Structure 1
């Protein structure tokens, strides 16, 4: 079989580090083939993989690793500076970056912590947190402009994460202020370096607090793994970093885009609000239409990987970025208006927003649960909610995190409130 490489004369596609138009860029990358050469921050070369079938094959391929320390020569040889904008994504030691048996070992306690039983047990508390936030919003008044990202989409997953991890009250605000900066890909190197140091300091405080006062929470479970010799101290801290950052950001952006799409598609909101379409289906279409994490760096070819259906060859040490935003809107998989939001779409759940294969997100079902509870409660409480300026929404400055900087909205009268008299 003849294999193909990008022509030598083709310049790599330089990714927009600001993420100004993730889906336009995804379409441009898709037009260059199922995978194409790109440049990451600092002109680091990589492949961007956009085709969903190729993504599935690669994410299950034994020759594709996430361990830079073992399988990325540029990292091993010191060619990637410590100040690189994405250094945290490849330098941590947790299930996100592990390969083979090491991945199985580091993922095992996380899988246990997010078992279906544990997730279902959280339903009453998630509902209580949701309604508490809605009460706070309602106090702002029906005609004030409120930022639903800051005051609802951001806070709900953070409070649930604090609950799951057993974060002491005193650390709630510091974690809230620090966690979002991990996903910025357009910041100066010195600033990028300061972010993980701040997060690690908070994680150390969390570990110390839970060692003194353990509880029925994920942090205490992981500390038991550490003290039992199953994890190193760095693996403990990095596993918590993974849960605090990636788990939170994914759910924030799911809520952000779900609210945006439902508020701007009233006929589709009506289908869900009246029970004609289940909220579960709304969540899946939101994930397909707007993958919360647009692109995930990095994976590496352990040895030469030849993808027979496409003829593409990935050389040993080649770095790969998986473009989930492109995969969700692939016109081959969704030939009828792949770019449109449609809660009646068949096969909406056939997406890759939470990954695929061994690295499938352990918190996926928790995120889905939060989405179903949040959407139902928000639009039940504020049935006439509208965005204040939908045409002016600004994307986050990141090619990784797919969300908005702010989500200004006018809530309208609450369902249990009487409209004002003239």
Structure 2
């Protein structure tokens, strides 16, 4: 804690140490975001739910004086996550209008595309890619398996062509893994490239609509209004980035948790009800190692009291997903990965209230299918090296996850076999 009494949040901090510190200061803690930006964060479930569901806290950054008066600069490393015109950055009636439109489109028109994206077993192709990449050598399960699967699913749901999804990936990474003191032009360039690609997609779907979410959004209307062109592109942007980046982290981090808690992996593989077992694995993964570290940001429309603390009008408030998920007052042995715990659904990994994640059900299903397929195919998967965590305030995940597909002994045997074959042929 610094001299001002607030707790500095470091993107590269040890997350277990951070959550213990925040939980000790509970329930609403004054923090300092990178760049010296002040905020409050909720650290237990009731307070987080109060923050995320409070009518006097809005997601609209027009109500954040620190941003509107220039104290938060254009090149602030989190600017892409707090500014925008999509429903993620709206509040009140405007958010309800946009939410109603996208919910209608998401739940009705693209049902066939969602089933197609998952039902054809895209994980099988990813598993074959793993097999090709991991012939005895360590393979990065994040890059070869966890990353392409959610990207393929959400692009299929939205109707984004494969070539366009490859081009978008680097620009999205520039926004979600921000660099300190990066030029504002870099962020603007990434936005411009993304919006250009998505505008082209909208034009194509308007000419040739299909059974996908983008076509449904183009046609979506409420009683008196419809999505404007800007709102439409912003909505696709939000669904695309939210629909794959967090799922990548969820799959990767849960693989790591299972490899470091082999008794939980063995229980899932031997369970009499595999569907229930892998659902419990995913839920515990969401609690233990959620893909979101902190949910950013809400702004007080007036002075408001939360958990005995007065948040002044215009101040920023967020919620620590890690601290809530590992709150020792709610979860026994919170730093242990335990798929049998009765409290593993008591988390905020998908948010809460009006902004609860629209794709939560799809993300859970993707992760269950992916994890079950991976460990059924490779039950002796082992870590090849301890992975590095990404440095981010908003996200929580691994930079890579190197593994041996057949265990260390299996990898050594495969290498020895190749050497023997090479000697025999020489």
- Alpha-carbon offset, residue 248 of structure 1: 1.2
User: Which residue in the other structure is 2:117 paired with?
Assistant: 125
- Where 1:122 maps in the other structure, the secondary structure is helix
- Match for 2:312 among 315, 320, 327? 315
User: Which residue in the other structure is 2:66 paired with?
Assistant: 74
CA distance in 2, matches of 1:167, 1:61: 35
Note if contact 2:110-2:211 (Cα within 8 Å) is conserved in structure 1: no
- Alpha-carbon offset, residue 141 of structure 1: 4.3
CA distance in 2, matches of 1:117, 1:206: 18
- Alpha-carbon offset, residue 300 of structure 1: 0.6
- Alpha-carbon offset, residue 247 of structure 1: 2.1
Give structure 1 stretches of 5+ with no counterpart: 1-5, 414-418
User: Which residue in the other structure is 1:215 paired with?
Assistant: 210
- Match for 2:330 among 328, 333, 346? 333
Taking structure 1 as the reference length, the TM-score comes to 0.89
Q: Which stretch of structure 1 is more off in the superposition, 298-307 or 22-31?
A: 22-31
Aligned residues: 404
- Alpha-carbon offset, residue 290 of structure 1: 0.8
Matched, 1:108 2:107: no
Q: Which stretch of structure 1 is more off in the superposition, 133-142 or 119-128?
A: 119-128
CA distance in 1, matches of 2:14, 2:192: 30
- Where 1:189 maps in the other structure, the secondary structure is coil
Q: Which stretch of structure 1 is more off in the superposition, 19-28 or 392-401?
A: 19-28
- Alpha-carbon offset, residue 301 of structure 1: 0.8
Instruction: Report 1:28-47 matches (<5 A).
Output: 28-47=21-40
User: Which residue in the other structure is 1:416 paired with?
Assistant: none
User: Which residue in the other structure is 1:251 paired with?
Assistant: 247
- Match for 2:190 among 191, 195, 210? 195
Could you give the per-residue CA deviations for residues 302-343 of structure 1, whole angstroms, max 9, x where no partner exists? 111112xx3111111110121111110011111x21111011
Note if contact 1:226-1:232 (Cα within 8 Å) is conserved in structure 2: no
Rate the CA distance shift 1:37–1:106 in 2: closer, same or farther, 3 A: same
Instruction: Report 1:380-399 matches (<5 A).
Output: 380-389=376-385, 392-399=386-393
CA-atom RMSD in angstroms = 2.4
- Alpha-carbon offset, residue 274 of structure 1: 1.5
User: Which residue in the other structure is 2:77 paired with?
Assistant: 85
CA distance in 2, matches of 1:104, 1:321: 20
Could you give the per-residue CA deviations for residues 61-85 of structure 1, whole angstroms, max 9, x where no partner exists? 111111111x212223343332222
Note if contact 1:299-1:319 (Cα within 8 Å) is conserved in structure 2: yes
CA distance in 2, matches of 1:119, 1:355: 23
CA distance in 2, matches of 1:141, 1:406: 15
User: Which residue in the other structure is 2:43 paired with?
Assistant: 50
Taking structure 2 as the reference length, the TM-score comes to 0.88
User: Which residue in the other structure is 1:158 paired with?
Assistant: 151
CA distance in 1, matches of 2:23, 2:356: 23
User: Which residue in the other structure is 2:88 paired with?
Assistant: 96
Larger RCO (alpha carbons 8 Å, 6+ apart): 1
Matched, 1:64 2:63: no
Rate the CA distance shift 1:131–1:238 in 2: closer, same or farther, 3 A: same
CA distance in 2, matches of 1:305, 1:231: 33
User: Which residue in the other structure is 2:410 paired with?
Assistant: none
User: Which residue in the other structure is 1:265 paired with?
Assistant: 261
User: Which residue in the other structure is 2:132 paired with?
Assistant: 139
Instruction: Report 1:218-367 matches (<5 A).
Output: 218-225=213-220, 229-276=225-272, 278-307=277-306, 310-334=307-331, 336-367=332-363
